[in-house]
């Protein structure tokens, strides 16, 4: 065992004995003793941090998470609460606890760029942790708690700068961004020393169970065995696995997850439904012509571009047209070009968009604020035009907006417009509890994206029931998307735990 002592006091005392420095004040001497005595951490267990945070009232589940992570998981964990339960508060409590106990001196927080300021503010104002946002040329060796974007951190020269520091704690927000072990950011985090480490994500599995394997291997390599062992012992393939009870047990040793219903807080209901609709005869014709393309032109032989086109056709002709004209340039044979021309012509001749009409119908019936999520910028613009022609005001939102523009759009939506039309990249880090209707105009491949979207409105502070409308066109690629979404939700629930409704209120068993 290592015993550290300092001779500092002895030197000061010697100086006083030799009359080199004056003796000090008796009252301050006693105050010093009393304060240290009052702040003494007399037990290895229990949380000290709450008494340092009189203006913060953490919820019970948040305190419990902090305690579990520190006492049972030794400060290395995945915080996987459902969206909106306060993972940031939990991470703040844990960091504060380690700071108070003197176990952490330097900490690094990695987040998506859009969340940096939010983290800095929460840490400073809620937790009195002097965190600073990293900017180019910030001398990080002088700051104990630094918040930085993942994209910056993984690049030189920032990467080398970080490696040169000696961080005691690493916190990574939106940690599902590390799901792919072949990325630069994964490699970067792998090379960081992780004495204490928190990975925050509501969606530790987005597509397949290997994502969770890689996430845990980052936190605690070997906890799920190495790759080969993991694959063979769970017969894991992308969307299915065996021995899931045992795996779940292992996962729970390094992951805490609260669901809304476990928190003891009254949550408003989530009313989720799939709204199946049909194409018009004309739309159907174009869709089929597009599907036929793979037999006509070699450019479309790869399934990816085919699927993209089909999905776009399910969204809007504007989205489709953009891709289609790009593809046409790659065609060489006259026959192909002629066929493409005829598809384009039919496409441009389409006068109505069944999905948009349905969305309009839902908005009119709701007679309230509505958020529409679409996957395509072209559809976003189209929808704004279309709604405008129907006398409905809307604002656009996407992830590329600066912080002030985001705030401005949010404000406009709250006060002026009825509808907010957002693309996928807009669905993180904006909170819109004043809205209670969400239309998923296009379905993403990944169920967790749906959860993130819904989480924008269904979170702490929501006072009304929340209505979710998932529009899907029958007999198209959207059938397969729905099918796959069900399968992925099934894997998630087997390994991580139950999910709140995201597709429909009725569970489908796989």
- List, in sequence order, the alpha helices (H) in 314-376: 317-328, 334-349, 354-366
Contact with other proteins (CB under 8 A) among 88, 111, 217, 320: 217
Binding mask 120-149 for other proteins (x = CB under 8 A): --------x-x-------------------
Smallest gap from residue 28 Cβ to other proteins (A)? 3
Give yes or no for residue 46 binding other proteins (CB under 8 A). no
Using omega within 30 degrees of 0 as the cis cutoff, is the peptide bond preceding 459 cis? no
Smallest gap from residue 188 Cβ to other proteins (A)? 11
Q: How many residues bind other proteins (CB under 8 A)?
A: 66
Smallest gap from residue 12 Cβ to other proteins (A)? 6
Q: Tokens for 214, please give them.
A: 């890689």
Binding mask 12-31 for other proteins (x = CB under 8 A): xxx-xx---x-xxxxxxxxx
Please give the full DSSP string across 212-273, using - where no structure is assigned.
HHHHHHHHSTBTTB-HHHHHHHTT--SS--S-HHHHHHHHHTTEE---GGGGTSPPPPEEEE
- Give dist(CA 207, CA 211) in Å, integer: 7
Give yes or no for residue 51 binding other proteins (CB under 8 A). yes
Q: Tokens for 438, please give them.
A: 């969400």
Give yes or no for residue 222 binding other proteins (CB under 8 A). yes
Q: Which stretch binds other proteins (CB under 8 A): 194-202, 299-307, 328-336, 380-388?
A: 194-202
Residue 421's contacts (CB-CB under 8 Å, 6 or more residues apart) are 371, 372, 374, 380, 383, 384, 394, 395, 396, 397
Instruction: Tell the residue number behind the tokens 């790659």, with chain if given.
Output: 330
Contact with other proteins (CB under 8 A) among 64, 159, 181, 223: 223
Cβ-based nearer residue to other proteins, 45 or 304 = 45
Cβ-based nearer residue to other proteins, 221 or 298 = 221
Contact with other proteins (CB under 8 A) among 59, 63, 103, 381: 103
The footprint of other proteins on residues 348-407 (CB under 8 A) is none
Cβ-based nearer residue to other proteins, 232 or 269 = 232
- Give dist(CA 80, CA 495) in Å, integer: 13
Give yes or no for residue 182 binding other proteins (CB under 8 A). no
Give yes or no for residue 156 binding other proteins (CB under 8 A). no
Burial of 203: CB neighbours in 10 Å, binned 0-12, 13-18, 19+: buried
Smallest gap from residue 74 Cβ to other proteins (A)? 5
Q: Tokens for 293, please give them.
A: 């393309």
Residue 129's contacts (CB-CB under 8 Å, 6 or more residues apart) are 92, 95, 96, 99, 123, 145
Cβ-based nearer residue to other proteins, 38 or 334 = 38
Count the residues in the chain. Answer: 510
Judged by the rule CB under 8 A, the positions of this chain that interact with other proteins are 1-6, 8-10, 12-14, 16-17, 21, 23-33, 35-45, 51-55, 70-71, 74-75, 101-103, 128, 130, 168, 190-196, 217, 220-223, 225-226
């Amino acid at each position: 065992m290592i015993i550290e002592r300092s001779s500092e006091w002895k030197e000061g005392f010697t100086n006083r004995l030799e009359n080199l420095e004056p003796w000090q004040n008796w009252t301050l001497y006693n105050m010093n003793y009393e304060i240290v005595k009052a702040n003494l951490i007399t037990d290895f267990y229990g949380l000290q941090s709450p008494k340092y945070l009189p203006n913060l009232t953490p919820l019970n589940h948040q305190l419990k998470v902090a305690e579990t992570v520190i006492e049972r998981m030794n400060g290395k964990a995945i915080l996987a609460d459902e969206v909106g339960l306060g993972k940031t508060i939990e991470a703040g409590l844990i960091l504060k606890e380690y700071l108070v106990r003197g176990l952490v001196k330097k900490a690094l927080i990695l987040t998506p760029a859009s969340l940096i300021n939010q983290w800095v503010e929460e840490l400073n104002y809620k937790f009195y942790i002097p965190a600073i946002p990293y900017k180019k040329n910030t001398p990080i060796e002088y700051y104990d708690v630094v918040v930085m974007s993942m994209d910056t951190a993984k690049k030189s020269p920032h990467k080398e700068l970080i490696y040169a520091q000696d961080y005691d704690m690493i916190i990574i927000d939106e940690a599902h961004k590390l799901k792919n072990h072949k990325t630069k950011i994964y490699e970067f985090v792998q090379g960081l020393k992780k004495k204490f480490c928190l990975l925050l994500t509501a969606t530790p599995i987005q597509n397949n169970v290997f994502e969770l394997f890689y996430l845990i291997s980052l936190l605690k390599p070997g906890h799920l065995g190495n790759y080969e062992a993991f694959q063979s012992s769970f017969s894991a393939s992308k969307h299915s696995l065996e021995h899931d009870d045992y795996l779940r047990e292992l996962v729970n040793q390094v992951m805490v997850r609260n669901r809304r219903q476990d928190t003891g807080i009254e949550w408003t209901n989530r009313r989720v439904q799939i709204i199946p609709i049909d194409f018009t005869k004309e739309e159907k014709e174009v869709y089929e012509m597009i599907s036929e393309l793979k037999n006509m032109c070699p450019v479309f032989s790869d399934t990816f571009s085919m699927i993209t086109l089909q999905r776009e056709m399910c969204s809007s002709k504007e989205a489709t047209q953009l891709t289609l004209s790009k593809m046409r340039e790659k065609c060489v044979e006259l026959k192909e070009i002629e066929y493409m021309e005829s598809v384009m012509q039919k496409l441009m001749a389409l006068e109505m968009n069944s999905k948009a009409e349905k969305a309009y119908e839902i908005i009119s019936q709701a007679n309230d604020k509505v958020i529409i999520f679409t996957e395509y910028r072209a559809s976003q613009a189209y929808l704004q035009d279309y709604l405008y022609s129907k006398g409905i005001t809307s604002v656009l939102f996407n992830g590329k907006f600066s912080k002030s523009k985001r705030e401005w759009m949010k404000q406009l939506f709250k006060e002026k417009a009825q509808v907010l039309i957002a693309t996928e990249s807009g669905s993180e880090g904006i909170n819109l509890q004043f809205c209670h209707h969400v239309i998923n105009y296009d379905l993403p491949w990944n169920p967790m994206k749906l959860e993130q979207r819904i989480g924008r409105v269904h979170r702490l502070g929501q006072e009304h029931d929340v209505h979710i409308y998932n529009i899907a066109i029958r007999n198209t690629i959207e059938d397969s998307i729905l099918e796959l979404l069900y399968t992925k939700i099934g894997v998630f629930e087997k390994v991580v735990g139950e999910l709140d409704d995201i597709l429909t209120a009725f569970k489908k068993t796989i």
